[in-house]
Structure 1
Amino acid sequence: MSTPYDAIIIGGGHNGLVAACYLAKAGKRVLVLERYHTVGGAAITEEIHPGFRVSVASYSMSLMRPEIIEELRLADYGFEVYAKSPSYFMPFPDGQHLFLYAGDRERSKREIAKFSQRDAEAYDAWEDFWDRCCDIIEPTLMQPPISLAELAQRFEDAGCVDDWRRLMLLSTSDLLGEFFESEYVKAAMAPQSLISTMGGPATPGTPYVYLMHAIGRAIHGRRGVWGYVKGGMGTVTRTLAAAARDLGVEIRTSVEVGEVLVEQGAATGVVLTSGETIRGRAVLSNADPKRTFLKLTPAGALPEEFRRRIERNYRIGGTVYKLNLALEELPRYLAAPPDVPPEVISRGTVDIAPTLGYLERAWDDFKRGEPSREPFIEIFSQSPTDPTLAPPGKHVLSCFCQYFPYEP
């Protein structure tokens, strides 16, 4: 029996679409199957109220590799990014505030000096630390994953063993204590080590999460700079889908895969919930491992020990919920400088994380299976810099709220 497709991809999220594009560039016949009415997965822009469009799940851009953006010519299909400026605004309960500007050390240092001149001077060492870590790890991002031991060896070869210790073994609180003295400055730096993470400031290993916020180059190749995609995150997958179709990829939406066909130890196609069977030489899954291996793949097709490890050891939870809002006007923060309008404040990310202790207590609530009584909140609004997302004079705003158990 002939197989019409070289590869069938389950799920039309950004990872599935990128895989589809590269397989098609290699001359393969590719089919993408998406159960939602449109491609996108977590990278999608939808209307939440008439005239108000928002990035429903993922919301900010940095980690998508520039090599992919360039090689797939996404700009030709309408992909356009721009940096957030300011990068972050931290209001404090006593009325003070702190701005940070990614990629602009001197401007950030002037802000930090309001709290500690020593910390302003230490900021260069802080940024240099992250630059060294990124220099070692970034080359691995476009390669097959290497082992933890191999990564440790790369740090040793570069003479950066102490950086490896800091990155992988210290907690965020400990790492910040090695550089800064001001509790305000520590609180301002901590959130990017914790966002979406099952851990608090005192949890060892959390600095690695900060690395993921320091290593991206999607904003015009500028490392560590975060920004937005014009039109919201749906533009990412819309342009990927357009590039894929031009490369010959077939994309079907509103179809759900019910089972992966396995014959003689190899995936040979899928069966849709409608009963349709589609054959292919290979099957790639953009779904999560539990759905892929425990629900879609027949039990007898995988080693029992592998299935057991996926079922018991591979944990899928969650620490955040996202609140998307249509607003008459932007919020006015009591700690904001009076000469800076709300439209400027909200161009950046606003973090409600006043102290390390506040963040640790929020995490403590989560560990007890309870929603945080005083949560860490990351607030962002793209409409001040992208008026296509809301009616004139109106705005969209989202709150990334942490820590909240997915299951009580």
Structure 2
Amino acid sequence: MTPSGQGRYDAVVVGGGHNGLVAAAYLARAGWSVLVLERRERVGGAAVSEQVFPGVDVRLSAYSYLVSLLPDRIVADLGLELTLADRAVASYTAVSGGPGLLVERDEGPATAASFRALTGSDAELAGWRRFYGRLATLAEDLAPTLTEPLLSPGELAGRLRDPQLWLDLASRPLADVVADELASDVVRGVALTDGLIGTFADLHTADSPAGRCFIYHVVGNGTGRWRVPVGGMGAVTGAMAAAARGAGAELVTRATVTALEPRADGATVHWTDDDGTERAVDAGHVVVGAAPAVLDELTGASPRPSADGAQLKVNMVLARLPRLRSGVDPATAFAGTFHVDEAAGQLDAAYAQAAAGRLPDVIPFEVYCHSLTDPSVLGPAERVAGYQTLTLFGLHTPAALFRDDPVGTRREAVRRVVAQLDAHLAEPLLDCLAHDAGGELCLQAASPLDVEASLAMPGGHIFHGDLAWPVAAMPEQVGTWGVATAHPRVVAASSGGTVRGGAVSGLGGYAAARSLLDRS
């Protein structure tokens, strides 16, 4: 028996992450009967808020943490009730022996002075303005195409005012494109990190995953701005779930899908419920929000190769923000993206060591303090006490490095990043951490293997695999939504399974729903 007792659904959605919820909401609003099956105890996938530390009333965005790619169109179409707040600072880069590099959200005198102090002239700032001015134009032109059927490369070029930049990013090494405008090792690193979030790639190779990752990190909503979801990431998927339920979709949690049997007229979805009871439900169509490798497993196909994830995630709650050796106000430095050891040369060295099978001696990473922008994630007592959240995201730490000794390698990686951050602090980071109800430090670390175990993401890859260029790769894809699978009645919705995805965007779910609705 199905949850509602009906014999067949128009669509069954496998996975209640942001893409599955968006697809369910669109289909249900169109009058389809929709069932969402989610393995975990709640929907949201990687975009959830959790009280991670016992006795500490702080809601952390446990996995994903910022929003840029979620189109305003999806928010408006689904009537999503959510608030995305701009951060006061775009980024601050710590530099040993100096004041560091401050980039304001909206450029003012402090940004210019910071570039001048770092490089000794105004030339680097001029290059930064040229490069990011061109990227802003590209973002304005490219973002609207993400919610349209796929264009051919020629059609897309015709929509762009600066097609040469697109061509350069698609055909040349990202390191070379950035070096055309930026000379400083530190400044180039700030730009290059957008090509490495969750992506293990050589910045000096043409058509590497770095270029694709970079595109998705700078075009969001036509501005490229990364904003803080007020209430935490759970507020985003909570709004999506409310939209799906409000439209009539059924959301069932603790439901583990075990197999899919595609047929010419639909599919049978096999799943087990919370007490282990085996169930089956028929569907006219299936939307798969899980990774492509998971779809292969469910249909009995040989799993296709999939890239591993490459991130170290450390969640923390602080009793106070640490003071900086540079003297910069920590409330300013941590308000945006705080870069540590991410100069271009350091990124290259870390990649080389990780590619050789070694945990990098110096792990490039960045830190975010969401509570400076959104104090609502703090409980009343914690807010009065001055608590803050801190999220650390390490680069060039692929899953393979953790497989032989998962716990020991993760512990060593955390030790290294804490020591690296301490090198820029006037007081030890651990002295600033809050303690939970059991007296333990409020620090939680996750390697790609931990992400895999928790979220069923193969290799812990936060994008379900390397991203694709947001354009038709083959003539037969032109005019489609880029969600086709080997089975006509099964469509993909995940970041790695669709042509356009990545981050908390809902783009995969939107494309899956539009593909099915266009057929009906």
What TM-score do you get using the length of structure 1 for normalisation? 0.87
CA deviation profile, 1:134-183 (whole Å, cap 9, x unmatched): 2442232002334xxx2255326757453233211222321222112223
CA contact (8 A) 2:173 2:211 kept: yes
- CA deviation profile, 1:225-279 (whole Å, cap 9, x unmatched): 1110011111111111111111111111111111113334742433436211122
Is 2:218–2:225's contact at 8 Å kept on the other side of the alignment? yes
Q: 1:336 to 1:22 in 2, by over 3 A?
A: farther
Structure 2 residue aligned with 1:285, among 282, 285, 288? Answer: 288
Contact 2:33 2:248 in 1 (8 A): yes
Structure 2 equivalent of residue 333 of structure 1: 324
CA contact (8 A) 1:8 1:32 kept: yes
User: Amino acid of the residue matched to residue 289 of structure 1?
Assistant: P
Contact 2:268 2:280 in 1 (8 A): no
- Structure 2 residue aligned with 1:368: 356
Tell me the distance in 1 between the aligned counterparts of 2:327 and 2:195: 24
Per-residue CA deviation, residues 85-104 of structure 1 (Å, 9 max, x unaligned), is 10111011222311113454
- Name the counterpart of 1:348: 336
Kept in 1, the 8 Å contact 2:139–2:220? The answer is no
Match of 1:302 in 2: none
Partner deviation per Cα, 1:202-237 (whole Å, 9 max, x = no partner): 2334344322222112xxxx6121110011111111
The 5 Å alignment of 1:257-336 reads: 257-264=257-264, 266-272=266-272, 274-293=277-296, 295-297=297-299, 299=300, 307-308=301-302, 311-312=303-304, 314-336=305-327
Q: Report what 2:45 is aligned to.
A: 41
List gaps (5 residues or longer) in structure 2.
402-520
Query: What's the counterpart of residue 303 of structure 1?
Result: none
**In the alignment, what sits opposite 2:69?**
63
Q: Is the 8 A contact 1:93 1:354 kept in 2?
A: no
> CA–CA distance in 1 between the matches of 2:288 and 2:160?
36
Given the alignment of the two structures, is residue 89 of structure 1 paired with residue 92 of structure 2, yes or no?
yes
* Contact 1:369-1:405 at 8 Å conserved across structures: no
What is the aligned counterpart of 1:13 among 17, 21, 38? 17
Q: Secondary structure at the match of 1:145?
A: coil
Question: Is the Cα contact below 8 Å between 2:37 and 2:253 reproduced in 1?
Answer: yes
Aligned to 1:214: 218
CA contact (8 A) 1:3 1:281 kept: no
Aligned equivalents of 1:135 and 1:387: distance in 2? 31
What pairs with 1:145-164 in structure 2 (closer than 5 Å)? Answer: 145-146=150-151, 150-155=152-157, 158=160, 160-164=162-166
User: Structure 1 181/145 Cα, relative in aligned 2: closer, same or farther at 3 Å?
Assistant: same
5 Å-filtered alignment, 1:19-38, equals 19-38=23-42
State the Cα distance separating 1:336 from its structure 2 match.
4.5
Counterpart in the other structure of 2:463: none
The structure 2 residue matched to 1:121, chosen from 113, 122, 126, is 126
Cα offsets for 1:43-88 (capped at 9, x unmatched): 000011121221111111111111011111112xxx1110111011
Specify the alignment match of 1:182 in structure 2: 184
TM-align CA RMSD: 2.3
The answer for the alignment partner of 2:83 in structure 1 is 80
SS of the residue corresponding to residue 407 of structure 1 reads helix
**Cα separation, 1, equivalents of 2:165 and 2:195:** 16
Contact 2:192 2:344 in 1 (8 A): yes
Greater shift, 238-247 or 256-265, is seen at 256-265
Question: Greater shift after overlay, 154-163 or 136-145?
Answer: 154-163
Amino acid at match of 1:81: L
Instruction: Report if the CA contact (8 A) 1:34-1:254 is conserved.
Output: yes
**Do residues 394 (structure 1) and 407 (structure 2) align?**
no
Deviations 1:369-408 (A, max 9, x none): 2222211111111122222323121122111112112124
Instruction: Give the CA deviation at 1:10.
Output: 0.9
Normalization by structure 2: what TM-score? Answer: 0.69
- Comparing 123-132 with 1-10, greater Cα deviation is found at 1-10
| Contact 1:188-1:353 within 8 A present in 2 as well | no
Distance 1:74 1:22 in 2: 12
Q: Which residue of 2 aligns with 1:383?
A: 371
Identity %, equivalent residues: 28
3-state SS of the aligned residue for 1:87? strand
Structure 2 residue identity aligned to 1:162: Q
Does 1:142 find its partner at 2:147?
yes
Q: Deviation per CA, 1:8-34, whole angstroms, max 9, x where unpaired?
A: 111110000000000011110111111
SS in 2 for 1:5: strand
Compare 322-331 and 248-257 and name the one that shifted more: 322-331
TM superposition shift of 1:364 = 0.8
Partners of 2:93 and 2:340 within 8 A in 1:
yes
Partner residue in 1 for 2:167? 165
Contact 1:200–1:359 under 8 Å retained in 2: no
- Contact in 2 for aligned 1:377/1:402 (Cα 8 Å): yes
Deviates more, 1:152-161 or 1:280-289: 152-161
Distance 1:271 1:56 in 2: 27
In structure 1, the gaps of 5 or more residues are 300-306
